[in-house]
Amino acid sequence: MDALVILDFAGVALFAATGALAASRKQLDIIGFAFLATVTGIGGGTARDLILGVPVFWVGQPVYILACVGTAVAIYFAAHLIEWRFRWLLWLDAMALSAYGVFGAHKGLEVTGSPVVAVVMGMMTGTLGGILRDVLANEPSVLLRREIYISAALVGAGGYLVALMLDLPLALAAGTGFVAAFALRSGALAFGWTLPQYRPRAGRDSDSSTD
C-alpha cells in the first residue's frame, strides 16, 4: 500500500506542478497559480471518485490541497529559473499520468472489482487533469496532439492489472504499470510515437466536407 500512496501523492503533486508551469507561461498572479495547480492536481481524482460513488479523496484529506498550493507557490518563485518550461511541463505531465493512471486503476479495482472499470478509471485519473489544465490555460490540448497520450495511461493501468494477475507483489505491480506508461509516453515525446490515424477516403469524406 505504501507504493500506491506514494503514487497517489506523486500524481497530485506532479500534475499540480504542470498547472503552475502553465500559469507561469500565462504570467498569472499567485492566486492564478494556486487555482490552476489545484484544479490540475485534483481534477482527475475528483472525477474518478464521483463516478465511483466514494468520498472525494481531498475532502477527507485536505493535505492534497495544501500540497497543490505549496507546489504552486514554489513554482511561482522559481519558474523564471526553469528553462524550456513547456518541455518540463510535458515531461512532468508524463510522470503524473503514469503515477496517477496506476493509482486510478487500483482504486477502480478496489471499489468495483472489475478490471474493465479499473482500466477506465486509470485512463480518466491519469489524463483528465492535464486536459483540464490545457482548457483553462488556453493551451493546445495534449489530447489533440498526435503523440501517444491516453494510450500510455491505458498501458499503465493494464500493466498494473496484468502484474496483479501474475501474483506479483503490490509494489512491484504498481512499479510495472508506472514504468510501462512512462516508457510509452516518453517514446511519444522523444521520438514522436503515434498510433495509426484516421485518413479520409478519397471521394466520400471529401465530398461530405462541402455539405
Residues 1 and 107: their CA atoms lie apart, in Å, by 11
Per-residue model confidence as pLDDT tens digits over 11-49? 999 999 999 999 998 999 999 999 999 999 999 999 999
For position 209, what pLDDT does the model report?
42
Per-residue model confidence as pLDDT tens digits over 113-139? 999 999 999 999 999 999 999 999 998
Residue 75 makes CB contacts below 8 A (sequence gap 6+) with 17, 20, 21, 23, 24, 33, 37, 82
Q: How confident is the model at residue 2 (pLDDT cuts 50, 70, 90)?
A: confident
Residues 121 and 112: their CA atoms lie apart, in Å, by 11
In percent, the amount of the chain with pLDDT more than 90 equals: 77
